[in-house]
Amino acid sequence: MATLEDLSKAVINGNVAKAKKLTQELVDAGVAPLDIINQGLIAGMNVVGVRFKNGEMFVPEVMVAAKAMSQGIEMVKPLIAETDMPSEGKVLLGTVKGDLHDIGKNLVGIMLESRGFTVIDIGIDKSPEDFVNAIKEHQPDIMGMSALLTTTMLHMKDTIELMKEEGLGHVKAIVGGAPISQDFADEVGADGYAPDAASAVDLCKSLLSK
Amino acid sequence: METFNTTRSNFTRASFEVNQTIFWQMLSDDQCEEIFMTVQELLERTGVEILNEEAREIFEKAGCWVDGTRVRIPSPLTEWAARTAPSRVTLCDRNGKRALRVETTYSYFGPGQGNSFVLDPHTGERRKPVKDDVAATAVVCDALKNIDFVLSNGYPTDVKEAAADLHVFEALVANTTKPIIQYIPSVKHAQAILDMAVAVAGSLRELQKNPFFVYLIDADGTLVHSDETLAKVIFAAKNGIPFIYHTKLVLGETAPVTPAGTLVVALADVLVGVLLSQLVRQGTPVIAGGIFTVRDEENNMLPWGAPEVSLVGTGMSNLLRYLRIPSFGFAGASDSKISDAQMGLEEAFSMLHMGLSGTNLIQGCGLLESGLTGSLVMLVIGDEIIGMIRKIIKGIEVNEERLARGVIDAVQPGGTYLGEEHTLKYFRKEFWWPTLMNRNRIKDWTEAGSKSLGQRATEKTQSILQTHQPEKLSDDVLAKLREIIEKAEAAL
């Protein structure tokens, strides 16, 4: 019979078909849906996160593992009341105005979701107004901005300033992307910066535990 | 799985030609033939000086014209030698396991020899080599994935000079299982080294079946073959031990100034060794090759990092490939004195070309200062270069699954391939993974000490020397080796 450990392994190995099959078997066997998520799917992804951070696994492997996990979650989700869905916190993500790059942002989203965060992804080319409106609508704990270009990263400052003007200063602002550094993050008044997707998860956890 | 399946065609292409690997054939078959015909004419008309009496008798009996020490070789005999010599030699590891296919265009790399100095891997000091340096070379080569065989990388000066090559062989065979290329100064040395190899292999028969070393015999150059050189060839052939017949020519000095003319002399000389070995024992495994350079008139030096070294070396490899004779070449050396940009440039440039030309055994990796100084750090960098070269030589595989039609369609324009199973399946093996080249972001690189390639390679070399444990020889075999050396030292 399928075990939660088997399911974790299927996620770690990035075997999407097997993860779906095992999830169905566990559901049919009457295992509690929350256990399937926490002790099977997310447990596997936690291992992936640690290995990614240690340089033992790489982005393509993480992406496929995340796909296995999220397809499993999609199957179990209808069986759980929405309020019972576990969440570490809500994070809103977007790429700044004038910038169409989203691979890094998507990866951060996947890593956050896989570690139990609820992620709202508003997409690419988002102006400060777009960010502020989305924050008002979704009420996240954290908002993250992504930029790949040195020309577009300057919009991060505008967004953070507009957030404060609109009284949304309680939402933590984090920034990331290839040209971003800790110095730049400090300069634009962000609450945090992470150099890669795995560190972004740690950053969000530490910001919310404060 | 839906994104991974490609749409498999029901049609099959006929006569689909594939370049699975890149092969740099600089000389066409017609050009090779032209050179080979010239060589035959040269050997028949001018002939060569044969200073060994036994060899002259063998040549005369085979139909050569002998006048004093001048031997003129009829063309059919030269052609017979090239055809009779084996097209392939398998070199084994110390345990007799088949290791290197010295054939067609398989390329293998290793260090050099004949250097009078080494750079100390710990202090960087330039000093005379000692026996421990040879042992260290074996340990480092044993640990490096892309180094396929070993040579001394320095002549030990802390042992009895006349027996230095025996100490080299002992230090190499005791510290690596990889095949050994062993230089022999005389027949006496060849006999002692054979005795040592037999002690390791168990018997001469086992050694002949699965040879883990080859003799390196240096030809004397410019159509003269000395008494001792040919005695070594006869010895190797009689004992059925593979040997390398290796010439060294300087364009415009010991050979014609033109590369084509130099190749004529080089091929004529190595074919004399090949012919003699086949007349002594038909089927004797022989590997031929040469090292070529120009005179640097400004410094009165013979450079080993010059482009001509690779150019003429490639011509020689093409010729030997045309004749189906396994080849020995030279690359991975530099005229620089230290670990610097010139070193890396000349090292990589020469190894890429000799690799692309499909030279079978390529010696010389890690030689600085025009071959005078051996550097293990440079050898470690060479290991990384070889990895990159092998990635290039492998070429691009084109087949249904690698064409990725289905995945391209599934991802759609503007999408990413990062999360696809197709990517997952291939990204590790389709990409080359560096072990020394640094691709850190500047913050990580700075935090790790802002180290140059030279510093990182030095650290890796020292770490190998401190931690790598090559497979040991039994105490019994080691004792036998000591005994053979002591006996030989008394006689030499």
Calculate mean pLDDT across residues B307-318: 97
pLDDT at B174: 98
Instruction: Note whether A48 and A101 are within 8 A (CB).
Output: no
pLDDT class of A59 with cuts at 50, 70, 90: confident
The verdict on A60 touching B (C-beta cutoff 8 Å) is yes
Calculate mean pLDDT across residues B312-322: 97
Q: What percentage of residues in chain B have a pLDDT greater than 90?
A: 88
Cβ separation A103–B441 shorter than 8 A = no
**Which chain A residues have a beta carbon less than 8 Å from that of B418?**
59-60, 63, 103, 107
Say yes or no to pLDDT of A8 above 90. Answer: yes
Calculate mean pLDDT across residues B208-216: 97
pLDDT tens for B171-196 read: 999 999 999 999 999 999 999 999 99
DSSP string, chain A: ---HHHHHHHHHTT-HHHHHHHHHHHHHTT--HHHIIIIIIHHHHHHHHHHHHTTSS-HHHHHHHHHHHHHHHHHHGGGS-GGGS--S-EEEEEEBTT----HHHHHHHHHHHHTT-EEEE--SSB-HHHHHHHHHHH--SEEEEE--STTTTTHHHHHHHHHHHTT-TTSEEEEESTT--HHHHHHTT-SEE-SSHHHHHHHHHHHHH-
HEC assignment per residue over B81-149: HHHHCCCCEEEECCCCCEEEEECCCCCEEEECCCCCEEECCCCCCEECCCHHHHHHHHHHHHHCCCCCC
Say yes or no to pLDDT of B94 above 70. Answer: yes
Q: Taking Cα atoms as reference points, which of B323, B320, B347, B319 lies closest to residue B333?
A: B347
Say yes or no to pLDDT of A193 above 50. Answer: yes
pLDDT tens for B436-447 read: 999 998 888 999
Calculate mean pLDDT across residues B399-418: 90
Q: Among B1, B418, B443, whose Cβ lies nearest the Cβ of A60?
A: B418
Say yes or no to pLDDT of B10 above 80. Answer: no
Q: What is the CATH number of domain A90-209?
A: 3.40.50.280
Calculate mean pLDDT across residues A126-148: 95
**Which chain A residues have a beta carbon less than 8 Å from that of B428?**
58
The verdict on A107 touching B (C-beta cutoff 8 Å) is yes
**Which chain A residues have a beta carbon less than 8 Å from that of B424?**
14, 60-61, 64
pLDDT at B384: 98
The CA distance from B251 to A15, in Å, is 61
pLDDT at B438: 96
Angle between helices A4-12 and A16-28 (to 10 degrees): 160
Cβ separation A60–B443 shorter than 8 A = no
Q: Which CATH superfamily is domain A4-82 in?
A: Methionine synthase domain (1.10.1240.10)
Cβ separation B419–A66 shorter than 8 A = yes
Say yes or no to pLDDT of B71 above 70. Answer: yes
Report domain extents, chain A: 4-82, 90-209
Report the DSSP beta bridge partners of residue B247.
Answer: B290
Cβ separation B418–A103 shorter than 8 A = yes
Q: Taking Cα atoms as reference points, which of B98, B202, B210, B142 lies closest to residue B471?
A: B142
The CA distance from B207 to B92, in Å, is 9
pLDDT at B25: 87
pLDDT tens for B25-47 read: 899 999 999 999 999 999 999 99
Say yes or no to pLDDT of A86 above 80. Answer: no
pLDDT tens for B104-128 read: 999 999 999 999 999 999 999 999 9
pLDDT at B6: 53
Intra-chain end-to-end CA distance of chain A, in Å: 43
Considering only alpha carbons, which residue of chain A is nearest residue B442?
A: A181
ipTM over 0.90: no
Say yes or no to pLDDT of B3 above 60. Answer: no
pLDDT tens for B360-403 read: 999 999 999 999 999 999 999 999 999 999 999 988 988 889 99
The answer to whether A4-82 and A90-209 have equal CATH topology is: no
CA distance A165 to chain B (A): 34
Q: Which residue has the higher pLDDT, B371 or A115?
A: B371
Which residues of B have a CB under 8 Å from any CB of A?
1, 416, 418-421, 423-424, 427-428, 441, 443
Say yes or no to pLDDT of B2 above 60. Answer: no
Considering only alpha carbons, which residue of chain A is nearest residue B417?
A: A60
> Which of A45, A61, A113 to mutate: most B Cβ within 10 Å?
A61
**Which chain B residues have a beta carbon less than 8 Å from that of A179?**
none
Instruction: Round the CA-based radius of gyration of chain A to a whole number and report it.
Output: 18
Q: Among A64, A106, A181, whose Cβ lies nearest the Cβ of B424?
A: A64
Angle between helices B75-84 and B29-45 (to 10 degrees): 130
The verdict on A48 touching B (C-beta cutoff 8 Å) is no
Calculate mean pLDDT across residues B249-275: 97
Cβ separation B424–A14 shorter than 8 A = yes
pLDDT at B4: 52
The verdict on A16 touching B (C-beta cutoff 8 Å) is yes
> How is domain B82-394 classified at the architecture level of CATH?
Alpha-Beta Barrel (3.20)
Within chain B, all domains assigned CATH 3.20.20.480 are found at 82-394
**Which chain B residues have a beta carbon less than 8 Å from that of A197?**
none
CA distance B455 to chain A (A): 23
pLDDT at A103: 83
Cβ separation A60–B424 shorter than 8 A = yes
Cβ separation B424–A106 shorter than 8 A = no
Calculate mean pLDDT across residues B51-79: 98
